[in-house]
Amino acid sequence: MPEPPRPASRQIGWDVVTFRIVMGGLATVALVLLFAPTLVVLIVSFTSGLSLRFPPPGYSLRWYAALGDAWQLQFAAWNSLKVAAATTALSVGLGVAAALGIARSRQLSARVLDGLFMAPLVLPALAFGLAALMLFTAVGLPVSPLTLTLGHTVVCVPFVVRNTVASVQQLDPVLLEGSASLGASRWYTWRRVVLPLVRPGILAGGFICFMASFDNIPVSLFLRDAATDMLPIRMWQDLEGKLDVTIAALSGVLIVATVAAMLLMERVAGLSRRLS
Amino acid sequence: MAEAMGSEFSPRLAWPLAAFLTVLFAVPLMLLVGLSLQSGGGYGPGSYGLGQYAKFLTDPFSLQVLGATMRLGAEVTGVTLLLGFPLAWLHARAAPWARGLLMLVILLPLLTSVVVRTFAWIVVLGRQGIVNSALLGMGVIDTPLRLLYTEAGVVAALTQVQMPLMVLPIIAALARTGPDLPDAAGILGANAWRVFRTVTLPLALPGVIAGCLLTFTAAVTAFITQSLVGGGQMLFMPAYVLQQALALGDMPFASAISVVFLLAVLVVVAGLTVLGRRVRGYA
């Protein structure tokens, strides 16, 4: 039975089918790979058994209850939160000012400074940790929460600079000129015109900065003192020693907290739009 | 003049951070290079030279560690690109509601603690882990396989850990070019694979190169994942630095290893950056 020829754009040939199968298949593998480990940890954290066996023999909240007595982990978590908060405050202060200074400049000096501000992202953080320890030893500053905060700021401030620069560059210069020509002082323009428009960028950068500091191990290894236990290092050392199910429960808490913070930042700062 | 004053921010606003990073980033790196030039174990003056570097470059073990680290970075970057590009492509072609969901799944590993992500792989790959349980249950194997503490395990874990760094720049590149050009090529009768090879891929190349750069540098320095999934048998550069500095206290040699590592990473970064510039010239 002869069929009338269909327009070329309506034909789905073998090439399209194979292309979609291959690309869709690989993308599915990527999605499973991205998501499955997180899901597995969440499930194992509710085990009633003593091991990380999957699937668990039964379910209970015993390991979450055990977190209440894990004072070492609580102490380390508190230290990490304090250092991350101080790092974020310092990074936002230095980074937002620096971003305003370089974002709209076409001068060579601004390009060079941008390179300097981004350099800590590319160089291995562990080498920087070792180098920073040498500096603090040379000037006689003992390792403490202060040296930790300074070191964390070096490796976390690029996130603030990058996100703020991106949002300042999107700012329409007409708004600034208009505000100035209407007689607004520079401070007033900053507070009432610029800040509301770049705030999402600052929030997104500050959030990533906080998470990066909270999760940092390479710099902390060199710059913490014996009394300042940091959460990721504590967890890492617990995992090297014994495969503890308490860590699974703690991971569950961290995953839920991260997802909640991400959803919040998505609402107030459009996080996913800023990261891509 | 008045316009410039009113509408532009002073470049001096960048000075505090520039001073901060000069003192706390550039100076320490110079100290690191300086210490790596001390030939003996001691701190005495006059004992400067390239002895530490000669020691590294003539030691087969050290060279093997460097080679293994670079190979690991290349393997992880390759696998991540193979899986990450299709994921970015799927994101670009998905409906708006599905895009939000995809983005959440892509971003989640980026923001979850590295220890938690790595711990997940210990649970998955362990002797009683999900892979072994499944294979034992299906009767494929009789005894649990050793998956943890193998290079394949490290590559799998690092691929997941670094995947967002590859996918996000490619998503941005695909969003910049839009679906129109590939669609047009398809309507004009080009084979789907040919459209991908000659239109979609070249247009997305700047994003691919940016993603490769980020993935490679992150993979070679990710020593938590390297050490927890790789175990004690496999030694990579970051753990080597740590071992020499903290366990053995040989600071000059640890500095030299760090500098060699920094230079090796910089060579790759510079190569990819040059490639990126040339590609942007074509696109």
Mean pLDDT of A92-110: 89
Contact A37 B238 (CB under 8 A): no
pLDDT of residue B109: 82
Contact B21 A116 (CB under 8 A): yes
Q: Give the one of A40, A125, A236 whose C-beta lies nearest to B130's C-beta.
A: A40
Q: Which residue has the higher pLDDT, B120 or A30?
A: A30
Mean model confidence pLDDT for chain B: 86
The secondary structure of A67-99 as a DSSP string is HTT-HHHHHHHHHHHHHHHHHHHHHHHHHHHHH
* Dist. CA B119–CA B65, nearest whole Å: 24
Set of chain A residues whose Cβ sits within 8 Å of the Cβ of B189: 8
pLDDT classification of B1: cutoffs 50, 70, 90 = very low
Closest CA to A99 of A75, A118, A126: A118
Task: Give the distance from residue A247's alpha carbon to the nearest chain B alpha carbon, in angstroms.
Answer: 8
Q: Give the one of B7, B164, B254 whose C-beta lies nearest to A176's C-beta.
A: B7
Other Cβ atoms within 10 Å of A191 Cβ, number: 12
Contact A251 B120 (CB under 8 A): yes
Query: Hey, what are A134's tokens?
Result: 């040498």
Contact with chain B for residue A195, Cβ under 8 A: no
Set of chain A residues whose Cβ sits within 8 Å of the Cβ of B115: 215, 217, 232, 235-236, 239, 251
Contact A47, A60 (CB under 8 A): yes
**Domains, chain B:** 60-282 (1.10.3720.10)
Set of chain A residues whose Cβ sits within 8 Å of the Cβ of B273: none
Task: Give the distance from residue A1's alpha carbon to the nearest chain B alpha carbon, in angstroms.
Answer: 25
Set of chain A residues whose Cβ sits within 8 Å of the Cβ of B87: 26-27, 30-31
In this predicted model, what pLDDT tens digit does every residue of B188-201 receive, in sequence order?
A: 777 888 888 888 88
Q: Which residues fall within 8 angstroms of residue A220, CB to CB, at 6 or more apart?
A: A129, A148, A151, A152, A230, A232, A233
Set of chain B residues whose Cβ sits within 8 Å of the Cβ of A33: 83, 156, 159-160, 163
Question: Taking a contact as any Cβ pair under 8 Å apart, which residues of chain A between 61 and 90 contact chain B?
Answer: none
Nearest CA in chain A to B245: A130
pLDDT classification of A275: cutoffs 50, 70, 90 = low
Q: Which residues fall within 8 angstroms of residue B264, CB to CB, at 6 or more apart?
A: B66, B69, B70, B237
Given a cut of 90, whether residue A91 has pLDDT beyond it is: yes
User: Which CATH code fits A64-275?
Assistant: 1.10.3720.10
Given a cut of 50, whether residue B5 has pLDDT beyond it is: no
In this predicted model, what pLDDT tens digit does every residue of A151-175 receive, in sequence order?
A: 999 999 999 999 999 888 888 888 8
Task: Give the distance from residue B210's alpha carbon to the nearest chain A alpha carbon, in angstroms.
Answer: 12
* Dist. CA B219–CA B213, nearest whole Å: 10
Given a cut of 90, whether residue A146 has pLDDT beyond it is: yes
Contact A132, A121 (CB under 8 A): no
Other Cβ atoms within 10 Å of A85 Cβ, number: 14
pLDDT of residue A15: 83
DSSP class of residue A9 equals G
Set of chain A residues whose Cβ sits within 8 Å of the Cβ of B128: 51-54
Contact A76, A229 (CB under 8 A): yes
First to last CA, chain B: 39
Q: Give the one of B86, B241, B265 whose C-beta lies nearest to A23's C-beta.
A: B86
Per-domain boundaries in chain A: 64-275
Contact with chain A for residue B13, Cβ under 8 A: yes
Contact with chain A for residue B90, Cβ under 8 A: yes
In this predicted model, what pLDDT tens digit does every residue of B120-167 receive, in sequence order?
A: 888 888 877 788 888 888 888 888 878 888 888 899 999 998 999 999
* Dist. CA B83–CA B180, nearest whole Å: 24
Contact with chain B for residue A120, Cβ under 8 A: yes
Question: Taking a contact as any Cβ pair under 8 Å apart, which residues of chain B between 111 and 130 contact chain A?
Answer: 111-124, 126, 128-130
Closest CA to B112 of A254, A192, A50: A254
Which ipTM was obtained for this model? Answer: 0.86
Given a cut of 80, whether residue B283 has pLDDT beyond it is: no
Mean model confidence pLDDT for chain A: 87
Set of chain B residues whose Cβ sits within 8 Å of the Cβ of A53: 128, 133
Nearest CA in chain A to B185: A9
In this predicted model, what pLDDT tens digit does every residue of A34-64 receive, in sequence order?
A: 988 888 888 988 988 888 777 888 899 988 9
Set of chain A residues whose Cβ sits within 8 Å of the Cβ of B171: 276
Given a cut of 80, whether residue B169 has pLDDT beyond it is: yes
Q: Which residues fall within 8 angstroms of residue B253, CB to CB, at 6 or more apart?
A: B52, B55, B56, B244
